[in-house]
Chain A
Amino acid sequence: MTAYILGRLSAMPITLLLVTLTVFLLIFVGGDPAVVLGGDEADRATLQRIRAEFGLDRPVPVQYADWLLRVVRGDLGRSMRTNQQVSVEIGRRMVPTLQLGVLAVAISLAIAVPAGVISAVRRNTIPDYACRLLATLGISLPNFWLGILLVLGLAVLLPWLPAGGYIDPFTAPLEGLKTLLLPAVTLGMGMAGVLTRMIRSSMLDVLGEDYVRTARSKGLVESVVVLRHAMRNALIPVVTVLGLQVRTIIGGTIVIETLFALPGVGRMLVDGFFARDFPLVQGVILVIALSVVLANLVVDVAYAYLDPRIRYA
């Protein structure tokens, strides 16, 4: 297991370096950052001042090395707009995003595990068709469209839940959960669709295995065969899909947080773009990319731990 983890870790430094390089170079894609900051009408003197102020007058490799050294020390710079430490702001805005993400994953699992298992056990019956159709809809419908429908149904027509805003569930649990419920369902439905399909096909594979037949031939009740023998093994590949979904969930928060006026990292990124707050944007994107790399690592290790065939392969 240690050898597997070390092998997996050895490939990471280059990926991480390329990730930081991509994040750093992003601000140069649109042309001279000084012009972007100063506007098209800025004169030479203004541009010179902006370049000197933000260190843009130095060669790009020097700027990158300097930025990277600061990042390694945990210093993501200061926001151009608020002059606050970017790392502090990200830490503060990460709270609603994490709450949203965790709730979305919980909701998607609560839907997908029973739906996937029922779909496989009752293969080619009406419940199976219904689950498959819902899964396809969950995957295919744009999440902001689903969000708009939910707001119309549960906030406008039936005013049960707030259409937007945020209350910290740790200070007011019930009200807080109410503000997070619609965005979390919106974000979780796509993932529920992917997971339902995955669990269904994984369950179908497992239900055909010899050990399931053995369990049945021992005279075990069908529910014990399905839940204790089949489902436990069928859920192993789901770990991988969950890991891959971290990327989708983080991407989805950008739109969902804007739609529901949630003060999370996704909305901070969009606001940062509009304000041309480069240090903030670079900081947020870097943290997001590092979270994805870390999530993938955790998933690979967890998968190897759960399925010994991986680490001995």
Chain B
Amino acid sequence: METTVHLAERVARYPRRAARASWLIRFLRRNPVVLAAAGALAVITAAGILAPHLAPHDPAAQDYSALLTSPGQRHLFGTDHLGRDLLSRMLFGIRVSLVAGLASVLIAAAVGLTVGAVAGFWMGWWDTATMRVVDALQAFPILVLATALNAVLGPGLGNTIMAVGVVYAPSFARLTRGQVLSLRHREFVEAARALGMAEGRVLVRHVLPNILGPLIVFASVSMATAIQIEASLSFLGLGVQPPTPSLGAMLREGYPYLESASWWPLLTGTLLAGLILCLNFFADGLRDLLDPRLQGRR
């Protein structure tokens, strides 16, 4: 019996999956900007992951015979004030940005999802208390709170990730709560309850899978801003510390050389801005793709 059901499910799913795949291809064809952003993002991510193999030089190696060398054959993107190869530093800098963005959003999503789901599903004092705290935390500008937390926790990538994660958790909590609230009395949830399913199981099996779309979109937008905040904190000197190559810290070091070695801040900034821009375009595309209200229009 179970095998029959299993097979029936697979048969039922098959055309849906195939339709989804062709629909995705059609969507990407119709949205060349999203396709280009996704492609560029894939290239940048691959470059970051393969940084140890792609980097032509050691990112921390100083060469005093080649200080502030302009881009050329030996150093494709030139060198900085300590003679370090900028291309190699930028490749490793991508890693820092991506790790910081991904890890902080995962922390924020884990905390926010748990708090928001419990608050929205069970309501009561937990909901009142957590939403008051969320209100209070949202009174602080994100960058102010992230700067404050990073400053008191101390510099370093781990603390920056923690600071950005904590700062974004309230937004995830609020979004999750709102989504859960809108679903908790829908027919399919009531049906699961009527079948005798435990409340916790109803939440995990029936409610949470249905709110993943908006959460994934928000996570992708948040990742772009989280990378920007990490770069801002490093730019202020509070985040990732030298000699670890971080794009924000490289911009901070390169800014005073804007006149004499403009390629340094320009190339670093272009990569950082490009990464954030691609993530934003990608997130926009993801929203169009996953927003059920927009699906009927295609």
Contacts and interface: CB of A to CB of B under 8 A. Distances in A.
A19 interface: yes
B143 interface: yes
Given A29-B153, A251-B141, A152 B266 contact: yes
Given A18-B132, A270-B236, A273-B151, A288 B144 contact: yes
A226 interface: no
Contact of B149 (A26, A292, A296): A26
A210 to B, nearest CB: 23
Contacts of B144: 250-251, 254, 269, 285, 288-289
A19 B136 contact: yes
A22 B265 contact: no
A248 interface: yes
Given A152-B262, A251-B141, A292-B141, A18 B151 contact: no
A156 interface: yes
Interface residues of A, number: 45
B132 A254 contact: no
Contacts of B265: 148
B148 A273 contact: yes
A255 B143 contact: yes
A15 interface: yes
A269 B238 CA distance: 12
A140 B139 contact: no
Contacts of B136: 15, 18-19, 21-22
Q: Which of B133, B147, B154: most chain A Cβ within 10 A?
A: B147
B288 to A, nearest CB: 13
Contacts of A14: 132
A139 B132 CA distance: 29
B152 interface: yes
A273 B272 contact: no
B135 A15 contact: yes
Given A141-B273, A285-B148, A151 B258 contact: yes
Q: Which of B135, B136, B232, B273: most chain A Cβ within 10 A?
A: B136
B255 interface: yes
A252 interface: yes
Contacts of A139: 280
A151 B238 CA distance: 23
Interface in B273-297: 273, 276-277, 280-281, 284
A288 B140 CA distance: 7
A281 B139 contact: no
B135 A30 contact: no
Contacts of A36: 152
Contacts of A296: 139
Interface string A1-43: 0000000000000110011011000110110000010000000
A293 interface: yes
Contacts of A19: 136, 139-140
A166 interface: no
Interface in A219-261: 247-248, 250-252, 254-255, 258-259
Given A15-B135, A29-B149, A285-B144, 9 more contacts: A18-B132, A30-B152, A148-B255, A250-B144, A251-B141, A251-B143, A258-B236, A270-B236, A292-B141
29 contacts: A15-B132, A15-B136, A18-B136, A21-B136, A22-B137, A26-B148, A140-B276, A141-B276, A142-B228, A142-B231, A142-B273, A145-B251, A148-B251, A148-B255, A152-B262, A156-B258, A247-B141, A250-B144, A251-B142, A252-B143, A254-B144, A254-B236, A270-B236, A273-B147, A273-B148, A274-B237, A285-B144, A289-B139, A292-B140
Interface of A: 14-15, 18-19, 21-22, 26-27, 29-30, 36, 136-137, 139-142, 144-145, 148-149, 151-152, 156, 163, 247-248, 250-252, 254-255, 258-259, 269-270, 273-274, 281, 285, 288-289, 292-293, 296
Interface of B: 132-133, 135-137, 139-144, 147-149, 151-154, 224, 228, 231-232, 235-238, 251, 255, 258-259, 262, 265-266, 269, 272-273, 276-277, 280-281, 284
**Nearest 4 pairs of A and B residues by beta carbon:** A251-B141, A18-B136, A30-B152, A251-B143
